[in-house]
Structures are given as C-alpha cells and as structure tokens.
Chain A
Amino acid sequence: MITAAAQEREHYLNTSYGIKSWLLTKDHKRIGLLYLATITLFFFLGGAFATLIRIELLTPQGDLVSSDTYNKLFTMHGVIMVFFFLIPSVPATLGNFFMPMMIGARDLAFPKINLLSWYLLVVGGLFTLFAMFAGGVDTGWTFYTPYSTTYSNTWVIATALGIFISGFSSILTGLNFIVTVHRMRAPGMTWFRLPLFVWANYATSLIQVLGTPVLAVTIVLLFCERVFHMGIFDPARGGDPVLFQHLFWFYSHPAVYIMVLPAMGVISELVSVFSRKPVFGYGFVAFSSVAIAVLGFLVWGHHLFVSTQSVYAGMVFSFLSYFVAIPSAIKVFNWTATLYKGSISFATPMLYAFGFVGLFTIGGLTGLFVACLGIDVHVTDTYFVVAHFHYIMVGGTIMAYLGGLHYWWPKMTGRMYPEAWAKLSALVIFLGFNLTFFPQFILGYLGMPRRYHVYPEEFQVLHVLSTAGASVLAVGYVIPMVYFIWSLRYGQVAGANPWGATGLEWKTASPPPLHNFDETPVVTHDAYDYSTVMEEGIEVG
C-alpha cells in the first residue's frame, strides 16, 4: 500500500524542522504531541510519588519516611496526577489531535490560544515543580482550610499558583473546543453525525468552561486568606472553612467528569470499530455525555457529608448523586449492546476498552455506596474511597487513554506498535491494577483510614498485596513507553486506515498533512456507517 516513495510525501511532521518549529507551532497536531510529551513526564513523576507511598505502606511502621514527608508524598501525587496528568490527559492530547480531524476542520478555531494553553500548563507545572523541590506541600490535593490557610508551613501558595495557572490552560482548551465544534464542522457534518468522541469532548469542555473559573477564584481567596488573613475561611474571624469546601468541590467534583467523559468518548470509538457495528443507541450515548456534564454540577455536596454541612443539604446531594448513575449506566449498557452480534476483534485498543468497561463499572457501582449518606459516614476518608476513585480515574481514564493512544498511534506517527507486546502490557496493567486497588476496598471497609502511613498490623497482608500489585502496574506502564518510542523508528508502516474505521481522521494519510485534508471532506453518512468503508475498499489491517 504505502511505498517508500509515499513516505517521502509532506506531512505535519516533516513540513518544518527544529525546536522553534515545535515551540511556536500553531498546528493542533503538533500541540497535541507537545501535550503528550508533557503529561507523560508528569505521569511518571506522579507515579514515582505513588511508588514511594506504596513502598512505605509495606510495613505497619513508618520506616521509610517521616509523617511530614508522607503527607507531602500523597499531596504531590494527587496534585500532579489530577491537575497535570488526568485533567489534560485525553482532551488535550487525543482531543487536540483528533477532534478537529474528526469534524473535518483544518485546525481548532483559535490555534494561537491552543498553543498558549499548552504554555500555561507548562508554566503552571513549573511552579508546582518549584514548590516540590523547594520543600513540597502537605495539605492534600484538596487544600482544605483552615489547615492550608493558617497552619501548614509548606509551599501552599506556589503550588496553588501552579494549579491556578494550569486552570487557565484547561479553560482555554474548553473554550477552543466548544467554538470549534460549533463553527468548524465540515459540510454535511451535522450534530448527529459527529463521532461520540467529539460529543464527549464537547461535554467535557462545558465543564471546563463553567467549573474551572470557580476553582480559580477559590485559589485567589485561599491566597488572600493565607497572606492577608482576611478571615473568609477562618472561624475565629467569623468565616466558615466549609465554604471553602463548597467552592472547591463545585469545580473538583465535575473535574472527575473532565477526566472520565473524554475517556468514555474513546471507548465509544473503540467498541464500535472493533466490533464493526455502529454504537447502539447513538443518541442516548451522545446525550448521556451532556447529561453527565450537567448532573455533575449538582452533586458536589456528597464530599461534605461529614462536615458541618446541613444534613438536609446532605440528603439532597445524596439523592442527586444517584442520578449520575443513569447516564453512566446508559453508556455501559449501550457499549455492551454494541458488542451483540458484532464481529469482535481482540486488538490491543479493544482489550483496553474491555478493561475500561469492567473497571469503570466497579468504580461506578462503589460510587453508589459513597453517594449514600449513611454508608459514606462509615467509609469517609478510608481506603474504600481511595479504591473507588482510583477505579474511576486509573481503571477508567488511564485505561481509555492508553487504549486511545494505541488506536490512534498509527495515525499520529504513521507506524504500528508491536501487537504482541501491546497485548501483554494491556494484560499486565489490568491484572496489576486490580491487585493494587481491589484490596483497598476491603482495607477501607475494615477501617483503614487514608493518608496515614502507620497502621495496625492486621492490615499488613492487604497492604502488601496492594504494593505487589503496584509493582506489576508500574511494569505495565513502562512497557508501552518503551515500545511506542521503539515503534517510531522500527514499527511497521501504517496505512491510512489500518483498522477499517469510519471517522474522517482515517480518510486522510498517516501521518496527516499539515492542514489535515487535501480537500475539505463532505460528509454524507452517519457516524460508524461501516458500509462506507466496505465500498471504498480500504484494506482492513
């Protein structure tokens, strides 16, 4: 198919060379790769903190690090993983690269703003790294007052400033995506022909735009309180620390959906392509993304069940929290229904998709436990909660992120990854993940509190299992890193459409030309119409 001569054609990677052509690029594809490199660094940094935490927890005594250091470890793990890996993960890399291509556009609506938002993430990251090297921060990633404003004598402000700046990165990405979906669709690309990945990213952008500014103003208030002692969160001066929690979780609960919605979008693509069927109930899946984005803003009070929040408000928030289960379940059921009588292929991305569906289901169902006011009082601040949100964020988001990365890797680089190694690592990650986090459900239910590094001896067996799982998981994450880099040079050359997929991104060469398409595509079919692929006779890899 693709000859050596064809490899010489011009594409986005060889139109210009040199560091300047990357650092000043306005091409969404290159910016996507810049994000990919940046968040990979942060991922392994956050992973290093997790490793130290797990090693410390091997024994019931605090023998590796002091309590102060341990506080800093889990804080930096949380801050880096949440704000500098998970939030930008799928939207800023895969979304940035593929969303414009999927709607048939030459670029995002505001390419310069897109580049700016990458720089903001980097600058915010540098502030956070500075805080880390200067001595770290120990408030937990949630920065609860009055500890963060009055008592902690660590680098709260530098870290918070880093998060503040990276927040603007997130806001600008969301703004850019919304305008792009509204204004840049190719002729014939109606809303209900959009791939579900685009719908998911659109819904995510809504959260980024509506939620992140509240986090920004919360950080401004935190700063004012810490520096000027204004009293806004200080009970001694008439303020209320719980107000901080309201403001913080108004953003940070929906932020969970910033992490998982685009991941769900990836899964919709994967499940359809690798069972060669249109997604069952397209409209339901599309609207469930929007529904999750909206409902996500109505439930933040379930993080405040054991605070001084009124029990009546608690009941309302508990009740509303259950509603998120409806659109989430619609997605899971519809993916499953898509598989029915499909021609299922067990290619690596599909393995990740299966992993996602299983792990997300466990994460989601345990979410119902913690949404229930009565049970949550028992498991608040225990490893049950830790396990629950890692099933969503790691089992959900990272599985989908890796699945998407494998799926679109041939398009991004023009090369295939080695399938056998990829399948092996998918398996290792799935097993390692479950071994790490499943014991934590039991630990938490038995009463092991989070954020402690000294614990009663009867918890040791489960902690050792968890640490063993984490070691397996770490190996699983390093393997793709190695073979992805290897494949850049030695990987098999990929054709334009190695999976026989239907999206517009597969209708252009791999890697794509500078402005994505040689001719603006005209869309005449619904998404996931596999009869069109057959007609065109594209070789199925």
Chain B
Amino acid sequence: MTNHVDSVKTYTIIWIILLIGTAVTTVVAHVDLGPFSVVVALAIAACKTLLVALFFMHIRHSSRLTKLVVAGGLLWLGILLLLTMADFVSRGWLRGLRN
C-alpha cells in the first residue's frame, strides 16, 4: 500500500464506465450470440471487476504481494472449477465410445 491519492475525476470516469458496462451487458443478453452470449457476459463482468479492483481497491498502487495474493485466490478458484468440471464434462464419453 502506498498513500497514492487518485483524483475525483479518475474515480468518476471509472464509475461511468461501470454504469455503461451494466447497460451494455443487459442489452447484449437479448442479442443472439449463440454459445458466445455467456462468454460476452462474463467478459464484460471481468472487465468491470478489473476496473473496480485496479482503481477502487487500489490494486494499481498495491505491492506485488497483494497482486500475488489476488492472483493466487483466482488461480485456486480456477482449480476448483476446472477439475470438478473435468469430471462432469467427461462423464458421457465412455458411453459414447461403447456405442
């Protein structure tokens, strides 16, 4: 942590982008993007998260350790999701082979 103080202008810009992002994600949900609709929704959410984390939570000015902690947490969430889904996704495969 440093005592870096951002300007009100910076915060306002981020805030407005976040509101626009919310509007965009709501509208895009009504557009047929096929399997990509969930990808787009999550991408927009990830961008919003990044803005909140970098600016509002000051990760931009934080130590490398803080960044490492956050990255580690996300990595572990990824392990939980990935390895469990590896089971659920591949359950039908064996049946597919037999047929």
Contact = CB atoms under 8 A, between A and B. Distances in A.
B90 A301 contact: no
Nearest to A240: B88
Interface string A288-305: 000000000110110010
A513 to B, nearest CB: 31
B80 A313 contact: no
A308 B79 contact: no
A58 to B, nearest CB: 41
Given A182-B65, A310-B91, A311-B94, A316 B86 contact: yes
A243 B84 CA distance: 8
B87 interface: yes
Interface centre among A304, A313, A316 (most CB of B within 10 A): A313
Interface in B25-79: 65, 72-73, 76, 79
A242 B87 CA distance: 10
Interface string A61-103: 0000000000000000000000000000000000000000000
A111 B93 CA distance: 53
Interface size class of A (residues with CB under 8 A): 20 to 34
B5 interface: no
A250 B65 contact: no
B79 A310 contact: no
A3 B91 CA distance: 72
A301 B80 CA distance: 11
B83 interface: yes
A312 B80 contact: no
Interface residues of B, number: 16
A431 interface: no
A450 interface: no
Contact of B87 (A182, A297, A310): A310
A366 interface: no
Given A182-B65, A210-B73, A210-B76, A301 B83 contact: yes
Given A182-B65, A298-B83, A312 B76 contact: no
A246 B79 contact: no
A185 B18 CA distance: 41
Contacts of B84: 243, 246, 250
Nearest to A299: B83
Contacts of A313: 83, 86-87, 90
Contacts of B72: 210
Nearest to A315: B90
B90 to A, nearest CB: 4
Contacts of A298: 79, 83
A429 B38 CA distance: 58
Contacts of B86: 310, 312-313, 316
A215 interface: no
A298 B94 CA distance: 23
Given A182-B65, A210-B73, A297-B76, A310 B90 contact: yes
Nearest to B94: A311
Interface centre among A250, A298, A310 (most CB of B within 10 A): A310
Nearest to A313: B87
B93 A310 contact: yes
A214 interface: yes
B93 to A, nearest CB: 6
Interface of A: 182, 210, 214, 242-243, 246, 250, 297-298, 300-301, 304, 308-313, 316-317
7 contacts: A210-B76, A243-B84, A310-B87, A310-B94, A312-B94, A313-B83, A313-B87
Given A210-B73, A308-B91, A309-B87, 11 more contacts: A210-B72, A298-B79, A309-B91, A310-B91, A310-B93, A311-B94, A312-B90, A313-B83, A313-B87, A313-B90, A316-B83
